[in-house]
Amino acid sequence: MDRERHAWIQLSRIAADGVVVAALWVAVVLARRAMGGGELWPGLRPVSAAVHLPLLALMLPVWLGSLWSQGWYSGRRGLGQGRQLLLGVALASLVAQALLFALKLDLASRTVVYGFSAASLPALAAGRAAISAVTASLGRRWLAPHRVVLVGGAEDSAALVHALRQAPGWGLEVLGRMGDQDGAGACPWLGPAEGLGDLLLRVAVDEVIVAGPGVALGAVAARCEELGVRLTVSPWALGLRSSRPELREVFPHPLITFSRGSGSGAELAVKRAMDVVGALVLGALSLPLAAGIAVAVRVSDGGPALFRQERVGRGGRRFVMLKFRTMVQEAPALRSELERRNEVDGPAFKLTDDPRVTRIGRILRRTSADELPQLLNVLRGEMSLVGPRPPLPDEVERYQPWQLRRLSMRPGLTCIWQVSGRSDLSFERWMELDLAYIDQWSIGLDLWLLLRTLPAVIGGRGAR
């Protein structure tokens, strides 16, 4: 895509969202002010426009920054775009309320903040539709098309052409495809890939996109560099169907890194900061409870309060995971006798009414209070607040190759499995949810899962 045009589209979207956010905040404040106080609406106090209108200086950057962090300006369409908007607004609402509390802005009305948050979803969606229609129309009328030639097979090129046509505002004109004549395809066939150099000499082309494998990538790249034509390479050309590219530089060598999920370095740094702050706060709040549990476990049978078990973390690194002991002291030795009663398919082991679990252990498991010591694992960087379940070494040894990808992120205290049935899930479904989390990970998703975990734990759904 034309980088200049892309930049203008992004700036126009940010500017449009800024106008929507500002106008909506003013409208919500004035509407709430018009509602008055308790004389018409019992329980409500009057709202001052003089207090709330200046708060736009706080709300505007919070909303735009949160939307940016969730990829709202990346150009994704359809359900993916809706998810970005939902997570962005949810994150913005949480951040705004946290800032209002931290800055001691007690005069800010919760009804204004909640009403603005709810109304911003349809308002921003409508604003995006309007600005997309405007930029597409202006692009067709006033800007020269960005002419593209695809290189690759008919099937891969057809998928890319379909995606490009979903973004009319980008002003792309697909001239055709070069490669094997293996099908009609979604665009004209221009000849074999070996003739790309001659085509570039005869026809004005702004960009060459390598859409799939089976192409002499080195020759194509050299020809484009020689003639000054921009080259874009799809990960599909390297046989990578869902990996994300990232450009890095080890001076003076530029490097392209491909990885699945996990986000950018900045996002991972934010995730780690959330882990540290969250573990410290939760640890401090739960310290009296943890001390009481430790005494109760110790007194119940005279054994140790903590259970230490080797688990496998990110990249296959092994670490000692901490839990409050919920089983009899000889539980590991008794597992072999219970293997035939395993109720979970695959390498994992789960058993309803496990005879090794103590009476106090059942209570701790039902409430997940046995996992409180894992906050120390989080502080040590071995685990995260949110992430895939930490597996046992013998489970990992029985993994199929595709299942090892779940070790690409730090294991966590909670994840999608925690809010989707916990131990009620089959091993295959458990694995699917962990991999889905890795592929779709974002800061907003972590916050959503943390909020969903509390009701799941309180309800004891799927706990064993």
pLDDT digit string, tens, across residues 137-179:
776 676 677 889 999 888 778 888 887 777 656 677 888 888 8
The angle at the Cα of 279, spanning 458 to 89, to the nearest 5 degrees, equals 70
pLDDT tens string 336-346: 777 777 766 66
At residue 145, the pLDDT reads 79
In this structure, what token pair is assigned to residue 326?
């919920």
Which one-letter amino acid corresponds to residue 50? Answer: A
Tally Cβ neighbours within 10 Å of residue 352.
Answer: 9
Structure tokens at 404: 């090892």
Query: What is the C-alpha separation between 441 and 267, in angstroms, rounded?
Result: 10
* Cis peptide, bond prior to residue 252, ω within 30 of zero: yes
Rounded Cα–Cα distance for residues 9 and 5 (Å):
6
Kindly report the pTM of this predicted structure.
0.63
pLDDT tens digits, 267-326 = 788 899 999 999 999 999 999 999 999 999 999 888 899 999 999 999 899 999 999 998
Backbone torsions φ then ψ of 209, nearest 5 degrees: -115, 120
Contact between 171 and 143 (Cβ < 8 Å): yes
Backbone angles phi, psi at 123, to 5 degrees: -65, -45
Evaluate whether 179 touches 213 at the Cβ level (below 8 Å). Answer: no
